[in-house]
Amino acid sequence: MKILVALDNSGQALKALDKAVAMAKKEIAELTLMTVYPDFPEDEGGLKQASASLMQMAEKTIAMGKSEAEKAGVAVKTVIEAGYSAAENIVKYAGKNNIDLIVMGHKSKTGMERLLIGSVAGKVVTYAPCSVLVVR
């Protein structure tokens, strides 16, 4: 079994990581940790600098996740990608790598925010080529 955990800097992502690590340990599954950071292609108004800073945060997030999984005795693969849509990157990765289960947290959005941008978890659930476990 191949499990993909989508990570960001939220408490919900940490809960998803804990759940995925427990499942991987029990099922002797292959565990991949993934984070996606926004990449700004042009240097307008310092956006390229912001992108570099976001990449460093992504690296720290993955390193923390890897450390937690390894403490629990689970070997992990890590993936850091730049992209416009985290959901799109997650779904594409899962499809290309024959992932069996995506585990991710859910940040509650309300009102206009949900209407305008939706949630990453909602988009992944809709378009993923495999099962998705959303941890609250």
Of residues 42 and 114, more confidently modeled? 42
Whether domain 2-135 has CATH 2.60.40.10:
no
- DSSP for 47-62 reads HHHHHHHHHHHHHHHH
Closest C-alpha among 104, 34, 35, 133 to residue 76: 34
- Give the pLDDT of residue 9: 85
Structure-token pair, residue 118? 């939706």
CA–chain centroid gap for 135, Å, is: 12
Share of the chain above pLDDT 90, in %: 69
**DSSP structure string for 23-89:** HHHHHT-EEEEEEEE----S-STTHHHHHHHHHHHHHHHHHHHHHHHHHTT--EEEEEEE-S-HHHH
Cα–Cα distance between 106 and 119 in angstroms, integer? 8
Band of pLDDT at residue 116, cut at 50, 70 and 90: very low
Cβ contact 24:66 at 8 Å? no
Q: Is the pLDDT of residue 97 over 90?
A: yes
Query: 63-89: per-residue pLDDT in tens?
Result: 999 999 999 999 999 999 999 899 999
Classify 114 as helix, strand or coil. Answer: helix
Per-residue pLDDT at 108 exceeds 80 = no
Q: In the prediction, which pLDDT does 38 show?
A: 85
Output the pLDDT for position 117. 46
Sequence spans of domains, the chain: 2-135
Nearby residues of 41 by Cβ (< 8 Å), 6 or more positions away? none
Q: At residue 50, does pLDDT exceed 90? A: no
pLDDT at 110: 53
Q: Mean pLDDT over residues 124-134, rounded?
A: 96
Q: Which residue has the tokens 């939220």?
A: 10
For residue 20, pLDDT over 70 is answered with yes
